[in-house]
A and B are shown apart, each in its own frame.
Chain A
């Protein structure tokens, strides 16, 4: 399977703990996005990378959230000192945006976080 993969698929943690999610995008895709989705809502933008450069981080994102894409391939999203409000599905998506194509996003299956 050469799609976007995310790990872990499910994570249950206690409030105050740190969690890290990993995303492996489609290999030739230069853009990687992190979104957060709660029940009944659309994906909410968190941050995105072009290659290894983090180009934008949502102003809604607190300093407890950090993301990296060290070699322009896989990415990690870390949440420090988790709170119950962090419970959500964390979606990763990748694309190869060039003038000649639509740049559609390909989503992974998501990492579901439950904070107790």
Chain B
């Protein structure tokens, strides 16, 4: 089965750093995706981790620990446009199907 947990809301100040944690219990786990979704829009791809460790991509980084069933998304130098919902999604290995968490709404304040 699939069980994906992430915090509901986070608030941070412009220029700061925010870390969004995600824990998962996924049978046949293969990899972990992060998506960004602005209000009223479709989700867009941010990152994908299949190996343990940190993947850095500009202001955004994502970390995975397969043994702990844990990932985080790190957003640095926050900008107002980063205010959005961030979705953690676990990929099942035998058919690559994605199951999403409920999303974390990040609000960036001036």
Chain A residues near B (Cβ < 8 Å) = 31, 33, 35, 40-45, 48, 55-56, 91, 95, 97, 102-110
Contact = CB atoms under 8 A, between A and B. Distances in A.
A104 B42 contact: no
A105 B97 contact: no
Contacts of A35: 100
Interface of B: 4, 31, 33, 35, 41-45, 48, 87, 89, 91, 95-103, 105
Contact of A105 (B4, B41, B98, B101): B98
A31 B33 CA distance: 17
A110 B102 contact: no
20 contacts: A40-B102, A41-B102, A41-B103, A42-B4, A42-B87, A42-B100, A45-B98, A45-B99, A56-B95, A56-B97, A103-B96, A104-B33, A104-B45, A104-B48, A105-B45, A105-B98, A106-B45, A107-B43, A107-B44, A110-B42
A89 B99 CA distance: 17
Given A40-B102, A42-B103, A91 B42 contact: yes
Contacts, number: 52
Contact of B102 (A42, A48, A56, A102): A42
A109 B99 contact: no
A48 to B, nearest CB: 6
A109 B44 CA distance: 10
A116 B25 CA distance: 37
A97 B96 contact: yes
A50 to B, nearest CB: 8
A72 B103 CA distance: 31
B25 to A, nearest CB: 16
Contacts of A110: 42
Most-contacted residue by chain A among B4, B42, B89, B95 (CB, 10 A): B42
Contacts of B105: 40
A24 to B, nearest CB: 14
Given A41-B102, A42-B87, A43-B87, A55 B95 contact: yes
Contacts of A105: 33, 35, 43, 45, 98
A108 B42 contact: yes
